Structure 1
Amino acid sequence: MRVLHLLDTINRGGAEMQALDVCRNAHKYGIELTFVTAQGGAMEKDFRVSNAEFIRLSRSLPLDFPLVLKLRKIIKDKKIEIVQSYQAVDGLHLYLATLNLPVRQVLSFQGFISDKKNRQTSRFLIPRVDANISVSKGLLKWLKQNDRLDTSRNFHIIYNGADAKRLAPSGKSLKKELGLDEDILLFGMIGNFYRDPRKDQMTLCKSLPEIFAEIENACCVFAGKIEAGAEEKFQDCLDFCRENGIAEKVHFLGGRSDVPDILEALDLFVFSSLHEGLPVVVSEAMLTNVPMIVSDIEPLLEASGNGEYAEIFPVQNAEVLSQKILKLLKDENLRENLATRAFKFATENLSIEAHLRELRKLYNSIL
């Protein structure tokens, strides 16, 4: 089965990591994968050494007809049978590149749509492609109710999944890097600071004074780059920590490529969020046996078995979050039990193997 995936940029993020895990493992499921990026990015070196053929093109305009022609040539030369895009701009270029060709088209929705132009493009593409993928039921509901997209037919739920082999730690110690003693209870969040209302690092920051007042040997880390337009959100977090006298216990790591080493160091993972599709980092935490606390938004409830495999707190409720964190940090047995059950659930439902099994079934159904 010859398949082409297109992703406009490949900077470090959840959709990009999902695509990389697919590239590394698709061949095990009989998928001969060609991966194309239109602009490249920080993860290009990783994609080049994956098990998929890697092609970098260039896009100069929002709708780039030279790019369309190059994609069409690749599709014809390699006898591609299915093309898949991860966002509207990719989907439109692939739609045009495959016109009047015997090629099936798949459009994947990884998260909510932040602007009118992409909503209009998605509205155009949805009835014209052969299959649409939503990464969670919660996202599907959001696309219908908030983005006003017609999700009544031709939509399929396929959960994102992480590659457990990629999550093996390198042996580097985050605590040593930060100058922390080994007995420090370390918790934290992995997620970029976005301009749009997506991640919610501030609520975690607001929960910290009460936690540090009760547990002296606790520290918190935030890992994630600062997207253009999100500088004020990041600065607000810094200012809050300084103004409340906790800055020495809170470490902002910036964008990191060593997520397995960060997860290895954590006693507890916190994911405070406003809107999500189905973040890969949630499955990464579960597959590395790190107990987890998540916001009670629908996709995260879905990923955690409605709270059976993670502690849940109300969105933006720092008081409840601090109590949940304290409960888990004070009880090692509770943390271990939660992590063990979550690992089993993620292996069955949120692993790259589970993702590719369902993706292969979908591909078979549209050929």
Structure 2
Amino acid sequence: MRIMHLEFGRHLYGGAAQVRYLIEGLDDCGIENILICPVNSEISKVTCATKVVELSIGGDLDWRLPTRLKNIISLYEPSVVHAHSRRGADTVGGWVSRYMEVPAVLTRRVDNREAALWARLKYFPYDAVVGISSAVERELLHHVGLPAYRVHKVSSAMDTKRYSPATERTRLTEVTGLDSSLFTIGIVGQFISRKGHALLFECLPELFVRFPHARVLCFGQGPLENELKKNVLNKGLSSHVIFLGFRTDLSDLMPELDLLVHPARQEGLGVAVMEAMSSGVPVITSTAGGITDLLENKVHGLTFESGDKSGLFNAMVLMISDEELRVRFRTAARKRIQEQFSVEKMSHRYIEIYNQVLRSS
């Protein structure tokens, strides 16, 4: 079996990281993988795909993309085309595959609502559409109106070897210069409104009064970065909040955090939450989107209703104050990821879907 993956994201964010894991898992199962991605994209530098084809991609309106994809499909003759991202992969990939009479699968990773008519047109050429969480699956079934036989749920996965508990804090101290006695709270995600940074920052003045030894470390980049930095400066919190940018060494830094906070307003599943759980880092997260697929409140971590400032604040106070609780969550959360969200499990589920669409074609 030969799978052609369309991943048009430039950075190794959550979705692209999942494509990396899937290709590794499929490779372990003896399946050949061809990756189509942008020139100099980060995934092109780390993938184990048999063949990498790099393209200059202009997005949904790139008039050259259909012809180039048609030629690539004709050249490599994949068994299945699997589209993973937007920027033309989802819109163009399905229709070109249908024209070439190659079965196609699309993975949707976000739970935001699309115009139903446009969504039906986009998803029409795909033999199977995969949602990464119950929330995304519901959106595909009930809002878009896709038939149940074409909709599947396959949860994202985590490389539990790459994200594993730390025994001491060395790398984080080296990068930040912070004393190891300080309590570090991480927030990981693009600086966009739906990730909820503003809600966390509203809680910080009072939190730092109660816990002056706490520090917040912000990992990521995005259009709201300058606005968020100005927010921190205006609140007089610059000594307690550190912006670390997008880090390719997050798997080294994440395990050394004391706590991860994920205050998202919308979320397909929550890769940052999975990374923290796998790393043995206690988690406080909103219940947005598909996050509740990952953990049970007070069993694997603490949750609060999306947008609930007092709920977030109270959860942080409890977590910082109760070391025994943090220890319990570390163990339970990592076990949950190992048992339910392994790369092997995700890969085998996709193989089932590939075989299903091949039998039906």
Indicate whether the TM-score tops 0.5. Answer: yes
Q: Cα deviations across residues 247-277 of structure 1 (Å, max 9, x unaligned)?
A: 2011111222111122122011111101111
Q: Cα deviations across residues 317-355 of structure 1 (Å, max 9, x unaligned)?
A: 222212211211122221111111111111122222221
**Which SS does the other structure have where 2:290 is aligned?**
helix
**Which SS does the other structure have where 2:126 is aligned?**
coil
User: Partner of 2:3 in structure 1?
Assistant: 3
User: Partner of 1:267 in structure 2?
Assistant: 258
- The answer on whether the counterparts of 2:135 and 2:289 sit within 8 Å (CA) in structure 1 is yes
Q: 1:62 to 1:298 in 2, by over 3 A?
A: closer
Q: Cα deviations across residues 89-136 of structure 1 (Å, max 9, x unaligned)?
A: 2133223332354421101111135776xx655321323311000011
User: Partner of 2:305 in structure 1?
Assistant: 314
Residue 149 of structure 2 corresponds to residue 150 of structure 1:
no
Paired with 1:120 and 1:262, the residues of 2 have a C-alpha distance of 43
User: Partner of 1:12 in structure 2?
Assistant: 12
1:315-354 correspondence runs (5 A):
315-354=306-345
Q: Aligned AA for 1:105? A: A
- The answer on whether the counterparts of 1:224 and 1:254 sit within 8 Å (CA) in structure 2 is yes
Q: Aligned AA for 2:278? A: L
**Which SS does the other structure have where 2:37 is aligned?**
strand
User: Partner of 2:203 in structure 1?
Assistant: 207
The total of aligned residue pairs comes to 354
Paired with 1:289 and 1:323, the residues of 2 have a C-alpha distance of 21
1:273-292 correspondence runs (5 A):
273-292=264-283
User: Partner of 2:191 in structure 1?
Assistant: 193
Q: 1:162 to 1:129 in 2, by over 3 A?
A: same
Paired with 2:210 and 2:185, the residues of 1 have a C-alpha distance of 15
**Which SS does the other structure have where 2:243 is aligned?**
strand
**Which SS does the other structure have where 2:292 is aligned?**
helix
**Which SS does the other structure have where 1:17 is aligned?**
helix
User: Partner of 2:96 in structure 1?
Assistant: 97
Please report how far the alpha carbon of residue 286 of structure 1 lies from its aligned counterpart in structure 2 after TM superposition: 1.1
Paired with 1:265 and 1:204, the residues of 2 have a C-alpha distance of 20
**Which SS does the other structure have where 2:93 is aligned?**
helix
Paired with 1:243 and 1:51, the residues of 2 have a C-alpha distance of 47
- The answer on whether the counterparts of 1:29 and 1:360 sit within 8 Å (CA) in structure 2 is no
Q: 1:162 to 1:10 in 2, by over 3 A?
A: farther
- The answer on whether the counterparts of 2:107 and 2:129 sit within 8 Å (CA) in structure 1 is yes
Q: Aligned AA for 1:67? A: L
User: Partner of 2:52 in structure 1?
Assistant: 54
Paired with 2:151 and 2:57, the residues of 1 have a C-alpha distance of 29
Please report how far the alpha carbon of residue 144 of structure 1 lies from its aligned counterpart in structure 2 after TM superposition: 5.5
Paired with 2:231 and 2:289, the residues of 1 have a C-alpha distance of 28
Q: 1:306 to 1:164 in 2, by over 3 A?
A: same
Q: Which moved more, 1:97-106 or 1:200-209?
A: 97-106
Q: 1:91 to 1:297 in 2, by over 3 A?
A: closer
User: Partner of 2:175 in structure 1?
Assistant: 177
Q: Cα deviations across residues 58-105 of structure 1 (Å, max 9, x unaligned)?
A: 234634454323323332332311111123521332233323544211
- The answer on whether the counterparts of 1:294 and 1:312 sit within 8 Å (CA) in structure 2 is yes
Q: Aligned AA for 2:9? A: T
**Which SS does the other structure have where 2:261 is aligned?**
strand
Residue 155 of structure 2 corresponds to residue 159 of structure 1:
yes
- The answer on whether the counterparts of 2:287 and 2:304 sit within 8 Å (CA) in structure 1 is yes
**Which SS does the other structure have where 2:327 is aligned?**
helix
Paired with 1:172 and 1:44, the residues of 2 have a C-alpha distance of 29
RMSD after superposition: 2.4
- The answer on whether the counterparts of 1:263 and 1:288 sit within 8 Å (CA) in structure 2 is yes
Q: 1:20 to 1:242 in 2, by over 3 A?
A: same
Q: 1:99 to 1:214 in 2, by over 3 A?
A: closer
Residue 131 of structure 2 corresponds to residue 134 of structure 1:
yes
User: Partner of 2:246 in structure 1?
Assistant: 255
User: Partner of 2:292 in structure 1?
Assistant: 301
Q: Aligned AA for 2:160? A: A
Paired with 1:348 and 1:364, the residues of 2 have a C-alpha distance of 24
Instruction: Return 5+ residue gaps in structure 2 as ranges.
Output: none
Q: Aligned AA for 2:93? A: L
Paired with 2:327 and 2:140, the residues of 1 have a C-alpha distance of 36
- The answer on whether the counterparts of 2:169 and 2:180 sit within 8 Å (CA) in structure 1 is no
Paired with 1:34 and 1:69, the residues of 2 have a C-alpha distance of 18
Paired with 1:52 and 1:305, the residues of 2 have a C-alpha distance of 39
**Which SS does the other structure have where 2:119 is aligned?**
helix
TM-score of the aligned structures, taking structure 1 as reference length: 0.88
Q: Aligned AA for 1:309? A: H
1:207-226 correspondence runs (5 A):
207-226=203-222
